[in-house]
Structure 1
Amino acid sequence: MKIAILKERASGETRVAVTPETAKKFAALGCSVAVETGAGVIASITDDAYAEAGATVADAATCVKDADIVLGIQAPDVALLAGAKPGAWVAALFDPFTARERVDAYAAAGLEALSMEFMPRITRAQSMDVLSSQSNLAGYKAVLAAADAYGRAFPMMMTAAGTVQAARAFIMGVGVAGLQAIATARRLGAQVSATDVRSATKEQIQSLGAKAIFVENVAGIEGEGSGGYATEMSEEYQKAQAELISSHIAKQDIVITTALIPGRAAPRLVTDAQIATMKPGSVIFDLAVAQGGNVEGSKPDEVVIRHGVKIIGYANTPAALPADASALFARNHYNFLSAFWDKEAGRPVLDEEIGTAIRLTQSGKVVNERLAG
């Protein structure tokens, strides 16, 4: 069984899908691992480190030739996969809803596309969940970037020259990224508050020492979608939430927005009118900027100043931490394949639950129900 890893070619992508650590583990399963020359350089992994781990380091064509499985961060163009075995698996991020033409191309090429972002959020798949591992780092990085852009200190400081008040940080959306943002802002000494449309997150917010900001007296709005994701809210809830947020956001120094709905544009959480109520010098980090943005006027990889407020956001936040992001993503890949490893077959064999969830293409067809039509 040959596993190939190519250098990432997407703009701004710094991560790599396999590390020397996981290359050794794949070798222990009986796999041969081929890594494209220079694939890990930006993530601080040398070709020599891969070679020492037992991997073959070669050009892209050599790596892909006769490969049974190709592992990636962003799914590679089909043209790069010429020479892989018929029906080879490609496990990576496919962005299936907005990059449907790529999914169709994989089907036409007879490749089996496995979308890692479609990994179900169930207990046994937690160690395979790339969205969670990468969102955790993204939440951390968002707070650091906001702190760097903020022209004041985060913690309260009592000095002979007077007292510096602690920054007020507001986290909007309490998934994996939001929880890490709360924890990081607290560690930096900020006064932290947070909100979410899912009522179940209230206790999580409070357990991290932050103040929970929630809409009250709007019956029946729980916001809990399948797999733990948020869903779209009713008009009644959206109106009540907007009024609550408007009064709270005006007092904040730092706002981190993290809300995403799978398969849809990011919901608008902060309007221009709300930005106008914030103090000059305040900072908003929009973690959803690449999916359309939670904040009105935000732009990927640009600093936008509106009403004296800095609005920032990265097109690929985990890529700002390439070494750690690569290590976690690579472990997700290994945990995924090793969990289904069939010793007799000498290859992984997916079960119905996870296989059906993540498989996009098979035998020349698009087979995932979420892409039907």
Structure 2
Amino acid sequence: MKLGVPRERATGENRVGLVPETVARLARLGFEVLVETGAGREYNPDSAYEEAGARVLQAREEVYGESDAVIKVLRPSPEEAEMMHDGQLLVCFLNGPMYPELVARLAAKGVTVFSLEAIPRISRAQSMDALSSMSSIAGYKSVLLGANALGKYLPMMTTAAGTTRASKVLVLGAGVAGLQAIATAGRLGAEVTGFDVRPEVKEQVESLGARFLEPEREEPEEEEEPYEEYEPKGLARIMVALGFNSFAEPPEEREKNGRKTSAEAESMKRTGGYATLQPEEKQRQDRELIRRELRTTDLVITTAQIPGRRAPILITREMAEEMAPGSVIVDLAAESGGNCELTEAGKTVEHRLVKIMGPVNVPGMMPIHASQLYSRNMENVLKHLAPEGELSLDFEDEITASACIAHAGKIRHEPTREALERGRG
């Protein structure tokens, strides 16, 4: 099976699909690797690929024309899509629901599309999960970007001129990127707080030394009920008169078998607080919680994204305007609309003395390690899809069925089909 590795041409994209160390391992497994000249930039020169066993080609048309599978980082451009042919496999970050027309074009050409965002989050697929690998890098780098833009130290510093307090960092979203951001900010000495709509991640946030932002729960004061002597009535009074003294006692509030009374069960339903609120009320509460925290926060990292949809707004214009002058927001969801209402993808906006950064392709800012991790993920993807060196798609397998969004001329991914129909409707 011939694997093609073209040079990434998107603006700011310096990663590569396979690095030489991975090429060497794949070559030993029987794969033939074709690399476009310059694909690895200055950190992975052509000579390193040749030493690893790859064949370096001068034109990308040759790479697309000769290969059975194309390993890219980002989705192909329209020109690259036209270079692909029937029966070819494409593995990359494509995000079908955002680019359904591209998926339709590839499907019409008979290309099998394996989209990395669609790999299921199961333990068996962890070694293939490039999205988590790249998110970890983005979380780390986001803190460095924020620290560079912030006019303060992150750690507490004691100098001859006095002591400065540690900066307060708030990370919204405790997924892979968020947890890495929390860990990085903590290592740099900041006072870190993490927030997520899922209260079950509290333990993970706190395990990194950060505070988990949640509503304060006030324990209701127990009121003593006034004592009233029980007076049997009706049938109970008659039974007492007949000598059945047990009827002189009040009825048990709880049955001996441990079942709860209806009143007690209703009380249990009302407990749980934050985790059991109705969605509308929870959203209002979360927003107010974040608003109060932002007033004393120096650096905010936002990481909340929903695959195939616009990122949720977590910080409104009004909330940003209440932040202290010189505060910084780094919005990792900028490419999908942003978690801050003021975010502009690829730009740094200054609004009322608050900086809102909307970096794009943050993993591409660290291409050496990003490419190494991505390449290892691709090695495991290829071992899964072509275990004997030849493509073998088993659609009974959860990983293959989920991540293969187009095959044999058809779009298999339902969200992508729905997006295509909406666009054409």
TM-score range (shorter-chain normalised) is over 0.9
Does residue 117 in structure 1 map to residue 117 in structure 2? yes
TM-score by length of 2: 0.81
CA contact (8 A) 2:323 2:354 kept: yes
CA contact (8 A) 1:19 1:326 kept: yes
Larger Rg: 2
Deviation at 1:342, TM superposition (A): 3.1
Does residue 291 in structure 1 map to residue 330 in structure 2? no
* Greater alpha carbon shift after TM alignment, 130-139 vs 73-82: 73-82
Measured against aligned partners, the alpha-carbon deviations of 1:75-99 in whole angstroms (never above 9, x if no partner) come to: 2236436665631110001121111
Q: Which amino acid aligns with 1:212?
A: F
Q: Which amino acid aligns with 2:414?
A: E
Q: How far apart, in 1, do the equivalents of 2:204 and 2:7 lie?
A: 38
1:89-128 alignment, distance < 5 Å: 89-128=89-128
The residue that corresponds to 2:257 in the other structure is: none
Counterpart pick for 1:247 among 277, 292, 300: 292
The residue that corresponds to 2:55 in the other structure is: 56
Does residue 320 in structure 1 map to residue 383 in structure 2? no
Distance 1:287 1:108, change over 3 A: same
Measured on the aligned residues, the alpha-carbon RMSD in Å equals: 1.6
Measured against aligned partners, the alpha-carbon deviations of 1:148-180 in whole angstroms (never above 9, x if no partner) come to: 001111111112221011110000000000000
CA contact (8 A) 2:120 2:402 kept: yes
Counterpart pick for 1:218 among 241, 249, 274: 274
Q: Which amino acid aligns with 1:318?
A: P
Deviation at 1:348, TM superposition (A): 4.7
Query: When the two structures are aligned, how many residues end up with a matched partner?
Result: 360
Which segments of 5 or more consecutive residues in structure 1 lack a partner in the other structure?
222-232
1:23-42 alignment, distance < 5 Å: 23-41=23-41
Deviation at 1:253, TM superposition (A): 0.4
CA contact (8 A) 1:194 1:205 kept: yes
Q: Which runs of 4+ in 1 moved over 6 A?
A: none
Measured against aligned partners, the alpha-carbon deviations of 1:280-336 in whole angstroms (never above 9, x if no partner) come to: 111110000110000111112211111211111211111111111111111111011
SS of structure 2 residue aligned to 1:360: strand
CA contact (8 A) 1:3 1:33 kept: yes
The residue that corresponds to 1:76 in the other structure is: 76
The residue that corresponds to 1:238 in the other structure is: 283
The residue that corresponds to 1:45 in the other structure is: 44
Measured against aligned partners, the alpha-carbon deviations of 1:132-154 in whole angstroms (never above 9, x if no partner) come to: 00000000000000000011111
The residue that corresponds to 1:67 in the other structure is: 67
Q: How far apart, in 1, do the equivalents of 2:325 and 2:79 lie?
A: 49
The residue that corresponds to 1:142 in the other structure is: 142
Q: Which amino acid aligns with 2:50?
A: A
Q: Which amino acid aligns with 2:44?
A: I
Distance 1:351 1:108, change over 3 A: closer
Q: How far apart, in 1, do the equivalents of 2:81 and 2:35 lie?
A: 14
Q: How far apart, in 1, do the equivalents of 2:56 and 2:210 lie?
A: 48
Q: Which amino acid aligns with 1:56?
A: R
Distance 1:350 1:334, change over 3 A: farther
CA contact (8 A) 1:75 1:90 kept: no
Q: How far apart, in 1, do the equivalents of 2:63 and 2:84 lie?
A: 9
Q: How far apart, in 2, do the equivalents of 1:341 and 1:36 lie?
A: 22
Counterpart pick for 2:381 among 307, 315, 336: 336
CA contact (8 A) 2:100 2:417 kept: no
Q: Which amino acid aligns with 1:235?
A: E
Q: Which amino acid aligns with 2:140?
A: Y
Does residue 278 in structure 1 map to residue 335 in structure 2? no
The residue that corresponds to 1:229 in the other structure is: none
1:355-366 alignment, distance < 5 Å: 355-366=400-411
Deviation at 1:278, TM superposition (A): 1.2
Deviation at 1:257, TM superposition (A): 0.4
Q: How far apart, in 2, do the equivalents of 1:52 and 1:96 lie?
A: 36
Q: Which amino acid aligns with 2:126?
A: Q
Q: How far apart, in 1, do the equivalents of 2:83 and 2:159 lie?
A: 66
CA contact (8 A) 2:85 2:109 kept: no
Identity %: 43
* Greater alpha carbon shift after TM alignment, 5-14 vs 334-343: 334-343
TM-score by length of 1: 0.93
Q: How far apart, in 1, do the equivalents of 2:310 and 2:81 lie?
A: 30
The residue that corresponds to 1:131 in the other structure is: 131
Q: Which amino acid aligns with 1:12?
A: G
Q: How far apart, in 1, do the equivalents of 2:15 and 2:102 lie?
A: 21
